[in-house]
Copies of this chain bind each other. A is one copy, B any other.
Amino acid sequence: MAVKNQEIVGILKKLPASNKVCSFGSYVKQIAEDDPRKLVHSVKVGLAIAIVSLFYYFEPLFDYEGFGVSSMWAVLTVVVVFEFSVGATLGKGVNRGIATFLAGSLGVAAHKLATFSGSDKLQPIILGLSVFSVASIATFMRFMPKLKVRYDYGILIFILTFSMISVSGYRDHMVLDKAITRATTILIGGAAAILFNVVICPVWAGEDLHNLIATNIEDLGISLEGYGKYFKKLDVKSEEELERTSLEEYKCVINSKASEENLVNFAKWEPHHGKFRYRHPWGQYLKIGDLVRECAIYINALKSELTSCNMTPEGRKRIQEPCTKMSIECGSALKEIAMSMKTMTLYPTTDSHILKAKAAAEKLRSIIKSGGLIEEAELQKLLPSTKIASFMLDLVSNSVE
């Protein structure tokens, strides 16, 4: 999809200005059609902000002493916390809530300590030093990988709230008031963001992750089946032709690590939803993802092999049958694994595909041993695929159970 967008941008650049407006429209339409949830998300955000803003607008008209200016924190929280997936929103909301509470308490304490010192000259020094040390230490903590992954936003909000509360120019009792109003309004904003996000067409990061991995496995399967077809017709020679027949589905698999890691981090925040419970073994998906990537790298190597290898027609003919079989069986096995992931049911035929692929691999190995073929290389490329496919099956059946 990212590739598609880049293409569109490329096309946009080449067009004259008069056509640009029209193409921009189709660009927007393209994004919306690729993933309609993006459109729904935009409307959700607009709705949530408008409703919370109007609450802020009406407040000064009420008679009771409301939150006043502080209620803009509710608007701010909604805007900042509202993310695409439920997991990301929950993660940011919880981070913000806990960080505000902790930093607020600590800030009030620091302020009390400074007031307790009595001296008007000492007070700013104590406050400045406390802000300096807390901000420095917290900033350094953001560099710790484990903390950064889950609590980066929380630490940022901690620094923010602490420095604001502790150094606010107000006197004693007002500081406590301020801290409480701020915490309350952020609670309101955070709750509104989470509510709107979960109630109206929620987007679950866990589900996205599950589907991403399944689609990656499916892409590999399609690529491998494409190679099977390539082995079948012996006359394909040029690289372009291979490109067209084998379908380069595996390419985007190689670069999906970052998005997988993000989704896992978000998914960890999500409660029970659909077929996934809270504390679903999300870490396993990373392992499967790594295996799939490894497999894609092998397919990449196989491709460069096929297009550059100087094979004799006879040699090609001898390995044709087992190679075709291995590719197609591996491909079907992978596609079935993907399907069984998507439907969350085990397909009984997958094992037999893998067994057939292994048998073909054995056959190919014996052919190579008997004759002096230079095709060892291709076998080496396909063998790990079989190995990985069967290993992956174990993992997947584990995670399905």
Chain A residues close to B by CB (< 8 Å): 2, 5-6, 9, 27-28, 31-32, 38-39, 41-43, 45-47, 49-51, 53-54, 56-61, 69, 72, 75-76, 79-80, 124, 127-129, 131-137, 139-140, 143-146, 156, 159-160, 163-164, 166-170, 254-255, 257-258, 297-298, 300-301, 304-305, 308-310, 372-374, 376-377, 380-381, 383-384
How far is A332 from B51 in the complex, measured between Cα atoms in Å?
64
Is B50's CB under 8 angstroms from A131's CB? yes
| B374 contacts A373, C-beta separation under 8 Å | yes
Could you tell me the distance between the alpha carbons of A140 and B46 in the complex, rounded to whole angstroms?
Answer: 10
| Chain B residues whose C-beta falls within 8 Å of the C-beta of A297 in the assembled complex | 254, 297, 300-301
A59 lies within 8 A of B384 (CB):
no
Min CB distance A84 to B, Å, is 9
User: Would you call the interface of chain A mostly helix, strand, loop, or mixed?
Assistant: helix
* A136 CB contact (under 8 Å) in B28, B42, B144, B258: B42
C-alpha spacing A70/B76, complex, angstroms: 14
Name the 10 nearest CB pairs between A and B, nearest first: A46-B136, A377-B377, A60-B169, A301-B301, A50-B132, A42-B140, A53-B167, A46-B135, A258-B258, A42-B139
| A169 contact from B47, B57, B80, B310, Cβ within 8 A | B57
Selected from B80, B164, B300, the residue in CB contact (under 8 A) with A72 is B164
CA distance A395 to B170 in the complex (A): 60
CA of A309 to CA of B380 in the docked complex: distance in angstroms? 8
Asked if B139 contacts A169 (CB within 8 A), the reply is no
**A52 closest partner in B (C-beta):** B163
In the docked arrangement, what's the CA distance between A65 and B202, Å? 47
A2's nearest neighbour on chain B, judged by CB, is B145
Given contacts A43-B136, A169-B60, contact A79 B163 (CB under 8 A): yes
Please state if B39 and A140 are interface contacts (CB–CB under 8 Å): yes
